[in-house]
Amino acid sequence: MTIAQTPQPLGLEDSLAPRLSIGSSNEYAGSQPIPEIYQRLKNPEIFVRLHIPPSLKYKGDSSPEDLEQSLHAKDHLSAAIQSQSLIISTSTVKELFDYWQIRLSCLHILQQSEIVHTESRRINEVLSQSPLQGLGVPWNFQILLALSYPNHHILNELYRLVEILREEGSHISEDDTERAVIKHQLKEVSLYVGATLISLKDYHTAIKHFSSCSRISQDDFRTQLLTGLLYLQIGDSLRAEERFRNANDVKENCAIECMPLLSMVDSEWEQAVESWKKLASNNFVKGNCAVSLFFAGRLSESISLFQSTLSDFSDPYTQSLIHEQLVNLYELHNRKPPVV
């Protein structure tokens, strides 16, 4: 870390990164018993051993109530351990994938990438050998497995899901209600493809991807909004503003929190500060306001706002980013503030 580093705007990669929600996948509504081929997903050998600190009192067996309590408290390590116990003891397909969804999501949040990659690979090995061809595997869980690969493999997995959906859709008539479901799933995968390109910092390809999505679905405000944020990332504020206004035309005020970013791209820092302060306070607003304060030369105010923002983020990844921002600010504060 060097003193020359300066705070970076919060929000682009964080807001566009694939979201791995904790909770039931509940797309598979039945309580069918687990087929023999899926029993291997309950084998203790499929799990990677987690380090349990002495401070964590873990009693061994877990109940759904224990897991719910851990999730409510955002105790993701306990939830990951408890979901393993429940996976091994469950007897229905729905619960099996629900608990796997929770475990992998918690491991993502804990940034246990190697464990996620290993367990996901083992799950896929079981599913790929199944003559059931994914029967009973919820769509949310299929997405989660694709996103659990290392970055350079995620796109291949997402494109594989696209091909599967297109193949299924080719056998369904236009007026079939199932076709609408497949269209929705295709749109969802498309958003994850764009988000993955962003995480790989391939912004120009991501712009082309979302622009293509916009032509296909003019009424989707999300693709307009995401493309606008990408144009900001490469410094094209005029096209960004156009996309934000298009998004607002589809869904009123959906891009209101993005408009001050235009001032930041144009280096109009005081105007950006005033614009952020007019918006309802949340982490995205506060973080970017703190960055604008820094570049406006108001260093002590920037530090104060970053400090107050830190406690609002519960996930360790974002906390580490803000810690790094603060260290840079402290170092700069001990020198003469830069002339902006």
> Which tokens in the block code for residue 206?
């991501």
Are 78 and 70 spatial neighbours (Cβ–Cβ below 8 Å)? yes
* Inter-helix orientation angle 221-233/237-250, to 10°: 160
- pLDDT over 60 (residue 315): no
Query: For the segment 226-270, what is each residue's pLDDT rounded down to a tens digit?
Result: 788 888 888 788 888 888 888 888 787 777 878 888 888 788 889
Only one residue has tokens 């018993």, namely 33
Beta-bridge partners for 92: 33
- What per-residue confidence (pLDDT) applies to 330? 61
Proportion of the chain above pLDDT 90, given as a percent: 15
Handedness of CA 26, 136, 108, 11 (dihedral sign): negative
Centre a 10 Å sphere on the Cβ of residue 145 and count the other Cβ atoms it contains: 22
Are 9 and 101 spatial neighbours (Cβ–Cβ below 8 Å)? no
What confidence category does residue 104 fall into, taking pLDDT thresholds of 50, 70 and 90?
very high
Cα 79 to Cα 314: distance, rounded to the nearest angstrom: 15
What confidence category does residue 211 fall into, taking pLDDT thresholds of 50, 70 and 90?
confident
> Which tokens in the block code for residue 271?
């105007």
Give 272 or 314, the one with higher predicted confidence.
Answer: 272
Cα 39 to Cα 43: distance, rounded to the nearest angstrom: 7
- pLDDT over 70 (residue 29): no
Domain boundaries, the chain: 270-335
> Which tokens in the block code for residue 166?
């297109």
The pTM of the full predicted model, rounded to 2 decimals, is 0.64
Give 207 or 283, the one with higher predicted confidence.
Answer: 207
Angle at 229 (CA atoms; ends 228, 235), nearest 5 degrees: 90
What confidence category does residue 20 fall into, taking pLDDT thresholds of 50, 70 and 90?
very low
- What per-residue confidence (pLDDT) applies to 1? 28
- pLDDT over 50 (residue 145): yes
